Amino acid sequence: MTAPQLMMISIFLPFVGGLLLRAFDKKPNLREGFSLTVAVLTFISVCNLTPLVMAGERPSFELVEMLPGLNLAFEIEPLGMLFAMIASGLWIVTTIYAIGYMRGHHEGNQTRFFTCFAVAIGAAVGAAFSANLLTLFTCYEVLSISTFPLVAHHQSAESRKAGRIYLGILLTSSVLFFLPAVIWTWHLTGTTDFVAGGILAGKIPDAAVPFLLALFIFGAGKAAVMPLHRWLPAAMVAPTPVSALLHAVAVVKVGVFTVVKVVTYTFGTKLLTDTGGSIWLMYVASFTILAASVIALGKDNLKARLAYSTISQLSYIVLGAAFANELGILGAGFHIAMHAMGKITLFFAAGALIVLVHKTEISDMAGIGRKMPWTMGAFFVGSLCIIGIPPTGGSWSKWFLLMSAADANAWLMGVLLISSLFSIGYLMPVVTTAFFKPLPADDGHHHGDGHDHGSGNVERDHILCVVPPVLTAVGCVLLFFFSDQLYALLEPIMMANR
């Protein structure tokens, strides 16, 4: 099978599979088995492309030419390869988790859920393989629209309001900022193609660079740079597998992927360094990192705390791109992977708490680690990854970002270090509450829902909600020991931006 054929399978199989799921609406076992099969086949096709990219090849194909110089086309480069592997790989474990969660929580409209989820993954892989800004913008919009029903899944007044906020902010920002940025770039250069080292050098006045960059940054509203962040905490009314999709697998990762891709392949780090065009972004990203961390400290609802943690951690990636140097791009790429693995672990654990023991507030989780040791142990490992403590992969991304800050603006090393302390402050209390505080006296009683919440078999009886966070926690550790493979994949980007 040729590389373009594998690319088409990777992009369009989730779309086709999602639509075919409607045929299994009344057969949940077949529906979920089919969904899992499509996820596995998509991941296999993506993995088969990885050796080609690591060998220096850039597989590509053109879907359609809309106007001269404007086409929907796909090409794989290292950053896109990394994102596609994350999205397709985590789709498998999220599907397993979603089966247990959706059944355990007795959710309605499950076929629609799995259908929209598949379409969202297809859009994410399409964005990862985009050869130009127009294709990226198209896939970005498809992702926004396909995830709207997931956010509004419960169809309550609260979820409908959250859906309106979600879609309103993301579509408005992309149409008002992202699209004009694409048009302006095409007007200046005659192309929207992604080229190593950028396409704008010598084509744009120095004074205009910060303004065009601002259009791209705020146009990529999924990156949740303040003040365009409200959609993310609002979307927490969705089922937890959707939260995992939003925070780790696809949605926010498309946002920060767009930022890094535009900095690297549209502007080029040399242009931004020479003009100082990204200096303002360093301070906006730093403010987002610290402000979101402070807000997270005050949240008792676990999913809300994790939502603001995500806003903070995403701006680590934006800050790495804003540094506009080799190590910044490397650290940003690393953190896309490390944050995905760490944060999906935390949300899986949070969802397991909802399904198994109906706990949403941190203050109500005293002693829960003794009833759910695997789940809360996984939460602990995921927390270490987000904080950046060895032996988890997050330590490498924080290391490269710190070194990048030392080169670009040493004062901003303080932002990264202080925010890591904040991360300890809002994640470790969850762990200590779960493991070291005593269980309430009445917590061993039956709750009248058919489950013995005080018994030690809670996790055993809900294996599909427990295995996924354990697997992703193991992934957090494996990323520490196999980071050399990730470095080798991203190294060509560093070389092209010297």
pLDDT digits (tens, 9 = 90+) for 122-160: 999 999 999 999 999 999 999 999 888 888 766 778 788
Whether the pLDDT of residue 444 is over 60: the answer is: no
Nearest-angstrom CA–CA distance, 144 and 150: 10
Task: Provide the token pair at 79.
Answer: 């950053």
> Is the link from the previous residue into 227 a cis peptide, with omega within 30 of 0?
yes
pLDDT for res 103: 72
pLDDT of residue 452: 44
CB 76 within 8 A of CB 60: yes
Q: Is the pLDDT of residue 254 over 80?
A: yes
Count the Cβ atoms, other than its own, within 10 Å of residue 155.
12
Judge if the upstream peptide bond of residue 373 is cis by omega within 30 degrees of 0.
no
First to last CA, the chain: 35
pLDDT 10s digits, 451-497: 444 445 566 657 777 888 999 999 999 999 999 999 999 988 877 76
Q: Within a 13 Å sphere around the CA of 10, how many CA atoms are in the beta-carbon half?
A: 37
H helix or E strand, kind and range, residue 481: helix 463-481
What mean pLDDT comes out for the span 241-262? 82
Give per-residue pLDDT as tens, 45-94. Answer: 999 999 999 998 999 898 888 777 788 999 999 999 999 999 999 999 98
Amino acid at 70: L
Cβ neighbours for 406, distance < 8 A, ≥ 6 positions apart: 413
Of all residues in the chain, the percent with pLDDT exceeding 90 is 62
How much is the pLDDT for 448? 41
Q: Are 333 and 261 in contact (CB under 8 A)?
A: no
For 254, phi and psi rounded to 5 degrees? -65, -40
Kindly state the tokens that stand for 413: 């090393």
pLDDT at 424 over 50: yes
Q: What is the mean pLDDT of residues 387-401?
A: 94
Please check the confidence at residue 435 and state whether its pLDDT lies above 80: yes
292-312 average pLDDT score: 93
Rounded average pLDDT over 205-223: 94
Greater confidence, 32 or 154? 32
Mean pLDDT across the stretch 15-39?
87
Q: Which two tokens stand for residue 310?
A: 């995500």
Strands (DSSP E) found in 369-439: none
pLDDT (0 to 100) of residue 446 = 44
CA distances from 298 to 96, 336, 425, 427, 431 (A): 32, 26, 10, 12, 16
Q: What is d(CA 458, CA 104) in angstroms, rounded to the nearest whole number?
A: 12
Provide the sign of the torsion angle of the four alpha carbons 348, 354, 356, 362, taken in this order.
Answer: positive
Residue 445: pLDDT over 60:
no
Question: pLDDT value at position 447?
Answer: 44
C-beta of residue 314 within 8 angstroms of C-beta of residue 252? yes
The model scores a pTM over 0.85:
yes
In what helix (H) or strand (E) does residue 43 lie, and over which residues does it extend?
Answer: helix 28-54
pLDDT per residue as tens digits for the range 155-180:
778 788 888 888 899 999 999 999 99
Buried b (16+ CB within 10 A) or exposed e, 26-55: eeeeebbebbbebbebbbebbeebbeebee
For residues 397-424, average pLDDT: 92
pLDDT of the residue at 437: 87
Q: What is the biggest distance separating any 2 CA atoms in the chain, rounded to whole angstroms?
A: 72
Q: What is the CA radius of gyration of the chain?
A: 22
Q: What is the mean pLDDT of residues 269-281?
A: 93
On the question of pLDDT at 107 being above 70, the answer is no
Predicted local confidence at residue 123, as pLDDT: 94
What is the per-residue pLDDT for 442? 64
Question: For the ranges 31-40, 257-266, 378-387, which has the lowest average pLDDT?
Answer: 31-40
